[in-house]
Structure 1
Amino acid sequence: MQDLNFRESWATRIGFILAASGSAVGLGNIWRFPYMTGEHGGAAFLVIYLVAIILIGYPVMINEVILGRKTNKNPVGAFKALAPNTPWWLVGALGVFTGFVILSYYSVVAGWSLAYIYKVVLSATAAEIDHAEVFVGHITSVWEPIIWQAIFMILTVSIIAAGVVKGIQKWVTILMPAILVLLVILIIRAVTLPGAGEGLAYYLQPNFGDVGPRTFLGAISQAFFTLSLGMGAIITYGSYLREKDEIPGNSASVVGLDTGIAIMAGLAIFPAVFALGFSPDGGPGLVFITLPAVFAEMPLGVLFGLLFFILLSIAALTSAISLLEVVTAWLIDEKGWTRGSAAVTMGIIIFVVGLPTTLGYSVLSDVTFPGLGMDMLDTYDWFANSIFLPLGGLLTAIFVGYIWGARNAVQEGNKNAGLISLGNWWVLLIRYVVPALILVIMIMGIYDTFFGG
C-alpha cells in the first residue's frame, strides 16, 4: 500500500494544459467531429458548436477543475470532501463509472485506428479495392480487432503505470505537439488540392437554411463530449494542480486548444473530400471508409494516409490515458492501491468489459439492447453520451451552484487568477444556463432515440 499522504502534482503549468487538452483531444475531435459536421450541414453546425463550447463547455470545464484542485482528490473523494455524510459522492462515482464505460468501447475504435496505420498502405497501393469491404472485413473478424484493442490498452496502461509526471505529463508533452504538426501537414496538403475551395466553402460559409433541432442537439452534445466533461477526467486532472496554478486561464487554454484542433481536423478532411469528389456525409465511416479512398487517389496518398492514422491513434491515446487515470486515481485514493497495480488491474477489467463491443460485429452481431435496436458498440456509446455524460455534468453543476455554493467555487477559482477571473457571468452560467441546456439535451436525445423518425 502506498503512502496516502503523498499525491503527485503537475510539474509545470504547460504540463496540465497539455494533459487536459490531450484528454479532450481524441477520437471526438478527429473522428466524431468531422462526421458530425458532415452529417449536419457543415459550417452552420460549426457555428452552433462554437456557441455551445462558450456557453456550456468552458464554464463546466472550470467547474470540474475547481472541484479537483479544491480537494486534491478523485471524483468520488472530491464530493465526499465537500459534502461529507451525504449521497453526493454518487455523482463522483458516476464520473468514475462513465470513464470506465467509455474507455471500454473507446479502446475498440482506437484499435481500428492502429490497424489502419498499415491498412491504409495496403488500400493505397492496391489497384482496385472496396474500402467499405476492407473496413467491414476488419470489424467483423473475431480475433483481429481484439488483438488491436489489446495492443492499444497495453500502451495506455504502460503510460498510466509510470505516474503523473513520468508517465502522463512526459508523454503528452511529446504527443500533443505531434498532433499539431501532423494536422498542419495534412491541412497544407488538403487545401492545395485542385478543387479544395468547394470543401472550404462548405466548412466555413454557414447556411442556416437546413438547421433544425437535431443540428442543435448534435452540436451541443459534441461540445460536451469532446471536452471530456462529465466523465471524471477533468476533476482528476484538476486534483493534480497546485495552489499557485490559476484555473480560469488554464481552462481557457485547454478549451481553446481542443476546439482549435477540432477545427483543424475539419480543415484537413473536407477540402480533400470535396476535391476528390466524395460525399461529406459519410457518417462514422467518413474516417475509415471515405478517407482511405481519398488518400488512394491523392498524390503521395500513402504518406498522408499514414500520417492521418498515426495522428488519429495518438489523439485516441491522449484521451484514453485520462480515462484510465480516473479509475486508477480512485483505487489509489480510496483503496490505497499502488499505481502500478491499479493501472494494470483496471486495464484488464476494462479490456474484458469492452469485448462485447468488439464482438458485436461478429459473434454477437445479433445481440441488441431491448428498445434501442443498436449494436453493442452503439449501445455503450448511447448510454454514455445520452445519459451518463450529461447527467454527470448536470448534477455537478447543481452541486456547485446550489449545494457547495457558487460563491465558494468563485473564491477557489479566482485564487491567483490572471487575465480572466470568475464573477457573476460564471455564476449565471453554472446555476441556470448550463443545467437548463443539459436537461434539454438529455430530453431531446432520449425522445429522438425512442420516438424520433
Structure 2
Amino acid sequence: MNEKQGFKSSIGFILASAGSAIGLGAIWKFPYIAGQYGGGAFLLEFILFTILIGLPLLITEFAIGHLGKTYSTTIFSKLSHQKFTNFIGFWGNFAAFILYAFYSVIGGWIVIFFGYYLLIATKITEQNMNFFDMMIQNPLLSLTGQFLFIMITGLIVSFGVEKGIERASKIMMPLLFILFIIIVVRALTLDGAMEGVKYFLIPRFEDLSFKGTLYAMGQSFFALSLGTTGMITYAAYSQKDTDIVSSSSWIVFMNLAISILAGLAIFPAASAFNIEATAGPGLLFIVLPKLFNAMAFGLVFYIMFLLLFLFAALTSSISLLELNLSNVIKNDASKRKTYAWLLSIIVFIVGIPANLSFGLLSHVQFGAGTIFDNMDFFVTNIFMPIGVLITTLFAGYIMHKQQLLHAFRKKYGFTHIWYYLIKFILPIVIIIVFITQLYAV
C-alpha cells in the first residue's frame, strides 16, 4: 500500500478500525443476547472472552496487514510465497460483499426512520410506532432508504482513506460516544432503572449456561469484525511506526465500552417501563420508540439514538466497501471515485432481494428462512468463523514465527504466549464455536 494514501495518524487508524468493529451487532445484538443469557453473568464472560480470544485474534489480523502492506487478495502469498494462500483474501472479500449487501438493508431502515422522525413526525404516537411495518412492506420506500445508505457510504469512501474514511471516523466515533453517554444518563434517571442496571452489571452465576457461554465466546470475536480481512486491509493502510498491540487494545476497550453503554441504555429503560427487549428490528424500531415516548423530550432523544445507530452502521459499511474497493483499484487513486460508485451500485442490486424478503419476497422461504435470513446465516455462521480460522492457521502454521513477530514495534513479554495461543489454542476454540453455533441455529 502507498502510505501517502493511507491513515495519517494512529488515532485515525484506531478510530476507523474501531468503527469497523463497532457496528449494529455490538449495539443492537449484544443487549438482546445478554438479556437472554444471564445479564451480568453473560457480560462477565463476554469481557473475559473478548480479552482472551478477541484481542489475540485482532492482533493477528493487524500483524498480517501491517507486515504485508498490500491488498487482501495478494497479501497472503506475499507473506508466505505460496500463491494458493490468496484464497483466504478472496474468501474474506466475498464474505464482506454479501455482508454489506444485507447489512445495507438495516442501514436503509435507519435512514428512513431518522428522516421520518426528524422531518415529519412531531411526536412519538402509536401510529408512528406502526410505521416500521408499513415501511418494510413498501418496496419503494425501503429500497430508497437502502440506496441512500449505500450512496452515503460510497461518497465517504470515494474521498479516499485520509480525506474520507479517517476524517469521517474522527467525527462519527467521538459523536457516537457522546450521544450514547447522553442517552445512558437519561435512561439511568428513570424511575425503576436501577433494577435493570443490577441485572446487567451484577453477575449471578446461577444464570450461567453452556449455550450462553458459547454465545459469549462467539460474540467476542464476531463483535471485532474478524474473519472478513477488513482489519487486515485497515492495518495495511497504517503507518510503519504503528503499534499494533496498543491499537488492538484500544479497539477492544472501545468495543467493550460501547457494548456496556448499549446495555446501560437498554436495560434500565426496559426495566423502568416493564418492556422486554426483543431481538431483531423490533428492538430499534418498535420497542425503543415506546421507551422514549414515556420520557420527557422523548422525540429528541429518539432522534439522537437513531443518529447514533446511523453512525455505527456507516462506520462498519465504510470498511466493508473499502475492503473490496482496495482490491479493485490496487492503489490507483484515479480509479477510486469511479469504482466506489460502481461497486456501490452492484452492492445495491445484490441487496435488493434481501430488502424485498420483508415484503414482496417474504413468501420465499428456504434453509434458514427468508433470503435475508440465509445471507445473514451463511456470513455469520459459516464465512466469518471459517475466515477467522484459516487466517489464524495461516499465521500459526504457514508464516514463520520470527517473521510474524516483526510486526511488533516494542518487545512485549506476552508475544510468545500470544503466538502459542494462535497456533494451538484458538483454532480449537474457533472450531468449537463454529460447530456449536452452526447446530444451535
In structure 1, what is the Cα distance between the partners aligned to 2:91 and 2:293?
44
1:433 to 425, 431, 434: 425
1:354 to 351, 356, 377: 351
2:396 corresponds to: 401
* 1:173-322 alignment runs, 5 A limit: 173-322=170-319
Instruction: State which drifts further: 166-175 or 68-77.
Output: 68-77
5+ residue gaps in structure 1?
none
Q: For the Cα contact (< 8 Å) 1:19–1:169, is it kept in 2?
A: yes
Q: CA deviation at 1:210?
A: 3.4
Amino acid of the structure 1 residue aligned with 2:381: S
In structure 2, what is the Cα distance between the partners aligned to 1:332 and 1:225?
28
Q: Say what the alpha-carbon RMSD is for the aligned residues.
A: 2.0
1:414 corresponds to: 408
In structure 1, what is the Cα distance between the partners aligned to 2:336 and 2:77?
22
Q: Alpha carbons of 1:336 and 1:318: their partners in 2 closer, same or farther (altered >3 Å)?
A: closer
Q: Deviations over 1:352-408 (max 9, x none)?
A: 111111000111111123x33x11212111111100001000000000001113332
Instruction: State which drifts further: 351-360 or 400-409.
Output: 400-409
Is 1:49 aligned to 2:46, yes or no? yes
Q: Secondary structure at the match of 2:70?
A: coil
Q: Alpha carbons of 1:206 and 1:280: their partners in 2 closer, same or farther (altered >3 Å)?
A: farther
2:165 to 156, 162, 168: 168
In structure 2, what is the Cα distance between the partners aligned to 1:185 and 1:230?
33
Instruction: State which drifts further: 235-244 or 216-225.
Output: 216-225
Q: Alpha carbons of 1:68 and 1:421: their partners in 2 closer, same or farther (altered >3 Å)?
A: farther
Q: Secondary structure at the match of 2:330?
A: helix
2:438 corresponds to: 446
Q: CA deviation at 1:161?
A: 0.7
Amino acid of the structure 1 residue aligned with 2:392: A
5+ residue gaps in structure 2?
none
* 1:94-105 alignment runs, 5 A limit: 94-105=91-102
2:151 to 134, 151, 154: 154
Q: For the Cα contact (< 8 Å) 1:38–1:282, is it kept in 2?
A: no
**Moved segments of 4+, more than 6 Å:** 121-124, 334-337
Q: Normalization by structure 1: what TM-score?
A: 0.92
1:368 corresponds to: 365
Q: For the Cα contact (< 8 Å) 1:55–1:433, is it kept in 2?
A: no
Q: Alpha carbons of 1:283 and 1:365: their partners in 2 closer, same or farther (altered >3 Å)?
A: closer
In structure 2, what is the Cα distance between the partners aligned to 1:273 and 1:118?
25
* 1:101-120 alignment runs, 5 A limit: 101-120=98-117
Q: Secondary structure at the match of 2:73?
A: helix
Instruction: State which drifts further: 287-296 or 179-188.
Output: 287-296
Q: CA deviation at 1:220?
A: 2.0
Q: For the Cα contact (< 8 Å) 1:221–1:385, is it kept in 2?
A: no
Q: Size of the alignment, in residue pairs?
A: 440
Q: For the Cα contact (< 8 Å) 2:10–2:239, is it kept in 1?
A: no
Q: Secondary structure at the match of 1:87?
A: helix
Q: Alpha carbons of 1:290 and 1:120: their partners in 2 closer, same or farther (altered >3 Å)?
A: farther
Q: Alpha carbons of 1:282 and 1:99: their partners in 2 closer, same or farther (altered >3 Å)?
A: closer
1:125 corresponds to: 123
2:5 to 4, 8, 20: 8
Q: For the Cα contact (< 8 Å) 2:110–2:309, is it kept in 1?
A: yes
